[in-house]
Structures are given as structure tokens and as C-alpha cells.
Amino acid sequence: MGLKHTLGRLGISDNMSRVYLAAIESGPSPVSVLVARTKLPKATVYDSVAKLEKEGLLESQGAVGKRIIVAHDPTIMSEQIEARRQMVSEMLPELRALFNAAKGKPNIRFYEGEEGIRTTMMDALTCRSGTLYCTYAMAEIMEVPGLEWMEGYAAERVEKGIWMKVMRSRSHDRKNIWPSNHREKREVRFAPEHVPLGLTTMIYDNRVAIVSSKKENYGLILESEEFATMQRTLFSVIWAMSEPSQFIEDIEYDNPNNDCSTPSSSQD
């Protein structure tokens, strides 16, 4: 398989590959040398040079009328391919979501690592219904994505006007923070002891987002109207069984001295 054929498969047309190869063989040269080597029309060579410059394979140096064409190291193609591969990897979850939605199939998006967990949680802020139905595994989310990140997350949620109904498990709590708070659009209940809440989940619109522990380190978004409806129903059943948490404003009213028994109003 020849070089020109291989370059063609990489998206570099026949004329472009001829000009690029000529530039490598000639070294820094004026366009006239490339025209002579390729036997292509001058306009075609100029057009190919412009396209190869955009690809980062050639560079024009000097003033108009005295331009010299310099070929860049071909290893740049490897770097470009890797960059494109990364771009495709980042786009794939959304592209597959569109593809599956068009075919009426449930869509599953899987994200690895701490960045994947943050991506998963941020998707919940696209909620159109105005309410998130959540379970928080407090010990886990305090570690990843961490309290500082969660404070910014909560502020953005409030700014978007999204209410959150969240169930927590006292056995998984580590700090007396994030109470029910009208200003912060958050209502908290504590699940019965026999109902462990070891995963952070968010139900919104037709999606269910799941955030794992740091040990497994992933985020998952399942987009399915039927699955989201079932999970919302299960949430409602456990919510009805759970212990309500008094709103911080009511505590402040009942306890005007604001003594140390008042829970912290740090954001979720």
C-alpha cells in the first residue's frame, strides 16, 4: 500500500498528499518548487498548501512573494489522530443517546473516574420538571466529588430553581449538614434503618443517574421513561416511610438563640 493511498485513507486527498510529500523531499522551498515537483497547477498547489496548513502539516513562512513552505514532522498526524479519538470518545455518550432515542430504545451512558462522577451529577441539573428525587450516600459523596465541589453544585442547582427531595441514611451520614431548607430548595428525610442507602441516585424527567462509591468510581445515566417512572414510584414509597427533617427556618424560629444544637445549613 503506497504512501499516497494511506494518506488518502487518513483524509488527505491525492493532490494534498503529493504536495506534502514534495515539501518533505524538497525541504523549505518556495511554491514554485512544489509546482515543479508535483506537476500540478499553481492554483491547486496553493489550495493544497492552505488545507495542509489547517491540518498542521505545512507552514508558510516569510512575506508575500517570498514565502517558503516548510513541512512539519509527520508525527503530528499521530497526535492529531489521538486528539480526534479523544474527541470522539467524549462525544460518543451523547451521540449514542441521540441514536437510541431516535430508535425508541433506552439509553445508557457510563462514565469512569471522578470526572465521570461529576459529569453524571451535572447532567441532573438539566432537569426540566423542576424537582430532583435523590438518595444521597453521604459518606461517599463527601469523599467524591467532595464537599467543596458539592457546595458549588448546590449553588448552581438553586440558581436554576431546581428543588431537591433527598433521602439519606443516618448510618451513612458523617456530618450534621445539608438540612431541609426552603432557601436552598432542599427537603430532607431519613430512611428507615432497614432501608440502606449505599448509592447516590437522582431521578429527573426520564432519567435515573447513579453515582458509585470511590472504590468502583463510576457514574451511570439510564434514560428510559419506564425505568424512571418505576424508580420514582419506589422513591415515593420509601419517602412516605421516612422520617421528615425539620426545615432550618423552623428550627431558627423555635430556637431564636441559635445554639449549638442547630444543624449546619451548608449546601448539599
The model's pLDDT over 248-264, given as tens digits with 9 standing for 90+, comes to 876 554 554 544 344 45
At 15-24, the pLDDT tens digits run: 888 888 888 8
End-to-end CA, the chain: 59
String of DSSP letters for 217-265: -EEEEEE-HHHHHHHHHHHHHHHHHSEE---HHHHHHH-TT--TTSPP-
User: What mean pLDDT, rounded, does the chain reach?
Assistant: 83
Confidence of residue 196 (pLDDT cuts 50, 70, 90): confident
Q: What pLDDT score does 260 carry?
A: 37
% of the chain residues with pLDDT over 90: 38
At 206-231, the pLDDT tens digits run: 999 999 988 898 999 999 989 999 99
